[in-house]
């Protein structure tokens, strides 16, 4: 499942099918995390948008919104487990802020949410 996401052969039209398969197999969070770890922000955004039935521009805005509660709500609704979400959240914050560390208060607040 994760190996297939790296292929350039995958058409955007296939994303919905791939998201559905990943969700059914309980691996959507791992796929999203893998995309983010490989710095494939475009595909991460597309997959997140398809999974959440949101527009990509809205997902992109929410990804970097301060606080992270909206992002947490979306990822909970699409079935991403807490641990995968927290890793995704930290990676997004590191990318947005360009820092090596994410303030613990932010992570704690969004984890409690």
Summarize pLDDT for 5-18 with one digit per residue, the tens.
544 444 556 899 99
pLDDT score of 107: 65
pLDDT score of 113: 65
Q: What is the mean pLDDT of residues 59-74?
A: 91
Model confidence at 100, pLDDT cuts 50, 70, 90, reads low
Q: Provide DSSP, the chain.
A: -HHHHT-TT--GGGHHHHHHHHHHTT-HHHHHHHHHHTT-HHHHHHHHHHHHT--HHHHHHHHT-SS-HHHHHHHHHTT--HHHHHHHHHHHHHHHH--SS--HHHHHHHHH-
Top pLDDT among 69 and 111 is at 69
Q: What is the mean pLDDT of residues 36-63?
A: 95
Q: Which of 67-71, 82-86, 102-106 has the lowest mean pLDDT?
A: 102-106
pLDDT score of 13: 63
């Amino acid at each position: 499942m994760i190996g297939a996401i790296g292929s350039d052969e995958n058409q955007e039209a296939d994303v919905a099918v791939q998201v559905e398969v990943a969700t059914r197999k309980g691996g959507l969070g791992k796929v999203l995390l893998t995309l983010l770890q490989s710095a494939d922000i475009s595909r991460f955004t597309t997959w997140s948008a398809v999974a959440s039935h949101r527009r990509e521009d809205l997902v992109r805005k929410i990804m970097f919104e301060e606080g992270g509660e909206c992002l947490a709500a979306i990822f909970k609704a699409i079935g991403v487990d807490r641990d995968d979400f927290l890793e995704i959240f930290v990676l997004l914050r590191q990318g947005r802020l360009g820092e090596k560390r994410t303030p613990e208060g932010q992570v704690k607040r969004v984890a409690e949410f």
